[in-house]
């Protein structure tokens, strides 16, 4: 009788240790390469209906973000292609052209709109650089006054 109990206990110990060794932690989520950055905002965006039923435009500083109700997903046009996310501030995943909901075809920005946005970003960058130079000059003047 003892000979049957000991192998059973050994087998149980072996199975238990194997189960413990097979536990795998999921890899932390990370940003896919060559995709837009996650959107940062203080609160959820307002969703405004568009001329296409079931497509809502997210009011964000980032243009071209839409929620498509039938798909229950977020879509963003950036880097000359469509991306998908499961939340407006989640990671963006590239979509092959055949997987883009047909309702979004109307929302691809024109070349002129993309150029206008690029120029606007360049203007914003120049304004920020000027503001930084002004602040640095003020700080340098304050340090000079403190040294006197």
Assess whether 90 and 140 both reside in one domain: no
Alpha helices per DSSP H over 22-110: none
Assess whether 140 and 102 both reside in one domain: no
Q: What confidence score (pLDDT) does residue 61 get? A: 87
Identify whether the C-beta of residue 61 lies closer than 8 Å to the C-beta of residue 117: no
Identify whether the C-beta of residue 46 lies closer than 8 Å to the C-beta of residue 56: no
Assess whether 96 and 39 both reside in one domain: yes
Q: What confidence score (pLDDT) does residue 93 get? A: 95
Lowest mean pLDDT among 28-32, 69-73, 131-135: 28-32
Residue 74 pairs in a beta bridge with 67, 85
Burial of 114 (0-12, 13-18, 19+ CB in 10 A): middle
pTM recorded for the entire structure? 0.57
> Would residue 24 count as lying in a domain?
no
> Would residue 4 count as lying in a domain?
no
Identify whether the C-beta of residue 137 lies closer than 8 Å to the C-beta of residue 145: no
Structural domain span for residue 132: 110-148
Assess whether 55 and 76 both reside in one domain: yes
Cα angle value 132/133/138 (rounded, 5°): 95
């Amino acid at each position: 009788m003892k000979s049957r109990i000991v192998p059973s206990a050994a087998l149980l110990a072996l199975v238990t240790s194997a189960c413990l060794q097979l536990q795998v932690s999921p890899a932390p989520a990370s940003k896919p390469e060559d995709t837009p950055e996650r959107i940062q905002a203080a609160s959820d965006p307002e969703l405004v209906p568009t001329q296409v039923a079931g497509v809502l435009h997210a009011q964000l500083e980032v243009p071209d973000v839409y929620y498509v109700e039938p798909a229950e997903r977020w879509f963003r046009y950036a880097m000359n292609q469509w991306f998908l996310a499961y939340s407006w501030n989640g990671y963006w995943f590239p979509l092959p052209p055949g997987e883009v909901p047909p309702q979004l075809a109307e929302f691809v920005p024109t070349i002129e709109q993309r150029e206008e946005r690029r120029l606007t970003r360049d203007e914003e960058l120049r304004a920020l650089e000027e503001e930084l130079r002004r602040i640095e000059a003020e700080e340098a003047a304050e340090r000079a006054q403190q040294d006197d």
